[in-house]
């Protein structure tokens, strides 16, 4: 069966990238659950009493689920190019979260270090996928 993707998007995803993608899907589902259903259990001092708090937590959960959906589509279509694109968008979002964290916390914390490390791994995987796509 021919690929439903345009030419250049049909390079298959290498196994290590698929495993990383599925790990991101599982972690994303977990963190969406954390932000939307049980934020107080994971973030001490967080309350969900005001509209602004609920909106912030739920919108973060929805953003995470959007990323999960994009990665899932790339994995199901077995498209290295689409997975690389999703990783690039995640890197942009995570680095934005790092900047917000630095501003709100007046400096780095565990979350900013974790997000920076995750963005670095995603950047490596993105470069790996792009190299695979270019080399066939």
Number of domains in the chain: 1
Q: Is 25 within the bounds of a domain?
A: yes
Q: Is 1 within the bounds of a domain?
A: no
Q: Which range marks the domain in which residue 26 is found?
A: 15-135
The overall average pLDDT reported for the chain is 91
Q: Is 5 within the bounds of a domain?
A: no
> Within 13 Å, how many C-alpha atoms sit on residue 90's CB side?
30
Q: Is 8 within the bounds of a domain?
A: no
What is the DSSP code string of the chain?
Answer: ---SSPTTS-PPPPHHHHHHHHHHHHHHHHHHHHHHH-HHHHSTT----SHHHHHHHHHHHHHHHHHHHHHHHHHHHT-HHHHHHHHHHHHHHHHHHHHHHHHHHTS--HHHHHHHHHHHHHHHHHHHHHHHHHH-
What pTM does this model have?
0.88
pLDDT at residue 3, rounded to an integer: 63
pLDDT at residue 71, rounded to an integer: 98
Q: Is 6 within the bounds of a domain?
A: no
Q: Is 72 within the bounds of a domain?
A: yes
Q: Is 121 within the bounds of a domain?
A: yes
Q: Is 10 within the bounds of a domain?
A: no
| Tens digits of residue pLDDT in 63-85 | 999 999 999 999 999 999 999 99
Q: Which residues of the chain have pLDDT under 70?
A: 1-9
pLDDT at residue 2, rounded to an integer: 64
């Amino acid at each position: 069966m021919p690929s439903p993707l345009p030419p250049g998007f049909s390079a298959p995803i290498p196994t290590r990238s698929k495993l990383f993608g599925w790990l991101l899907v599982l972690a994303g589902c977990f963190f969406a659950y954390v932000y939307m259903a049980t934020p107080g259990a994971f973030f001490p001092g967080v309350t969900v009493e005001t509209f602004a708090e609920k909106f912030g937590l739920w919108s973060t959960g929805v953003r995470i689920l959007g990323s999960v959906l994009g990665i899932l589509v790339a994995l199901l279509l077995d498209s290295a190019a689409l997975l690389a694109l999703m990783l690039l968008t995640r890197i942009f979002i995570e680095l934005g979260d790092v900047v917000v964290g630095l501003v709100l916390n007046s400096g780095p914390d565990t979350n900013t270090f974790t997000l920076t490390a995750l963005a670095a791994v995603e950047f490596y995987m993105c470069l790996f996928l792009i190299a695979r796509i270019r080399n066939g």
